[in-house]
Amino acid sequence: MRSIRRWTYALAGCAAILVAVTEYGHATPAMGRRMGANCATCHFRPAELNVAGKDFLRRGFRFEEVPTPDIAPGAERGEGEDQRPLTLTEIVSILGEHGFEADLDGGSAFEGGVFELVGAAAVSPEFSLFTEVEFKVEDEEVEVEEFWGQWTSATEGNYWTARIGQFQPLLLLTNQSGGPRISLSRPEVYSGRAANGNRFRPRNRLRGLEIGRMCGDLYTYFGIGNGEGQNEEDNHMDIYATTELNLDENGSSVGFWAYFGETPVDGEDGTFTDDFHRVGVVGNCASERTKFTGALLWGENDSDPYWNGGKLDNHGFFLMGQHLCSSDTAVYARWDDFTRDLPGVSPSARNSSSRELDTDGITLGIQWWPSTYIRIVGELQFLETNGEDDDTLAIAFQWAY
């Protein structure tokens, strides 16, 4: 307990120093260079989109009534105007992260670092492309996080859109899931897996096709494809659907998400098929400087037949509050709660700790962006799973160009 207090005081001291020496950072990397926009145009804070940023993302990296962003600077944005080719720095952003993590009850370590290439562009009035490739220095791994092409029917009023490739539902992406470099930790209910060996988690990417319809302030998507753990020997198609209603000019919204999947899982006596589902309500309430985001998710998985089968419940929620202390500093706090049934336990023990794994706790963080391309984040996380503590301090230096 003494070590926890010591780390808490240390982080509080760092936070005070950061707040005292803040200065404003303006544009995002490639998007800002191409569109001539500053951070506040699309972001509540770095990596946290506002209503304009969400709309820009849904339209395939376009603002409303702007068919393609490659018109020469100073030209009127209308038909027949001369256009110029996009330059590489207007398409590609380079991101990096270097971090330190300490177990408050044990050791600590500096991480090897992560390097990313992110490419995004509206290449014509109808088509846009996106790719995100991650290089993990310590593990010497290269992983394609997202890779998709998008068609958009119009840049004004109501429109249809379609994505094909590997992607995450936008409802979760824009409500505290995010890409791998956006936050140090994500809500447990988004990242947690069932206890039966199924590797699915709500923030997983789907490899397939997504169709969307934007009608006023209502956004609806339907996706079909293969989820994680599936390959050429298991071509079952998972499906998901989301709908989101924008409530005000600050981007407050409420949405519904549902996912139905089937995947092979290694059991005690061979492979079995897990026919599972997840559903949930996701939303946020935002003002100019404060934002609250939350989600309530629940669902079922199949248990290993070796343990007499049956259904395994999974449910949980998170609630997060964020506040802009100044133009370049934000603080946040999140409460997590995620519970999943354990296989091979008698239903009569359903309400005991032997039947379930229950993870809950609080995350406290501060974010400071001293310039356009630099961000420093510190997080204290106090989680508990069935009485076992997992308390950590994480500090990350993130940069982008």
Q: What residue spans define the domains of the chain?
A: 2-74+90-400
**What is residue 249's predicted lDDT score, i.e. its pLDDT?**
87
Q: Both tokens of residue 275?
A: 């026919």
Among residues 393, 394, 336, 395, which one has the least CA distance to residue 3?
393
Please name the residues in contact with 79: beta carbons below 8 A apart, sequence gap of 6 or more: none
The alpha-helical segments, DSSP class H, found in 253-292 are none
Q: Give residue 1's pLDDT.
A: 42
Kindly state the DSSP code that residue 192 receives in the 8-state scheme: -
User: Of 306, 235, 241, whose CA–CA distance to 264 is shortest?
Assistant: 235
pLDDT of residue 48: 77
- Say what the pLDDT of residue 55 is: 87
pLDDT recorded at residue 73 = 43
CB atoms under 10 Å from CB of 196, counted, come to: 23
C-alpha distances in angstroms, 361 versus 187, 190, 221, 335? 10, 15, 32, 6
Its CATH class, for the domain covering 2-74+90-400, is: mainly beta
Q: Is the dihedral of CA 205, 206, 207, 212 positive or negative?
A: negative
Q: Give the pLDDT score at 123.
A: 83
Residue 179 · residue 221 · CB < 8 Å: no
For the beta carbon of residue 61, count every other beta carbon within 10 angstroms.
23
Q: How confident is the model at residue 111, as a pLDDT?
A: 85
Tell me the H-state helices in 152-192: 170-172, 188-191
pLDDT at 40: 67
**Which one-letter amino acid corresponds to residue 62?**
R
C-beta atoms surrounding 211 within 10 Å: 15
Q: How many CB atoms lie within 10 A of CB 341?
A: 22
- In order of 172, 186, 268, 278, the CA distances from 203 in angstroms are 7, 9, 27, 12
Token duo for residue 363: 């995350």
Per-residue pLDDT of the chain (401 residues; tens, 9 = 90+): 444 444 443 444 343 333 333 322 333 577 777 766 666 677 777 667 888 888 888 988 888 776 665 544 444 444 445 556 677 888 888 989 899 999 988 889 998 888 899 998 888 888 999 999 999 887 788 888 899 999 999 877 899 999 999 999 999 988 887 655 556 788 999 999 999 999 999 998 999 999 999 999 999 999 999 887 666 566 789 999 999 999 998 889 999 999 999 988 888 888 888 999 999 999 999 998 899 999 999 999 999 888 777 899 999 999 999 999 988 899 999 999 999 998 876 555 555 556 889 999 999 999 998 887 888 999 999 999 998 898 999 999 989 88
DSSP, residue by residue, 200-235 = --TT--EEEEEEEEEETTEEEEEEEEE-TT--TT--
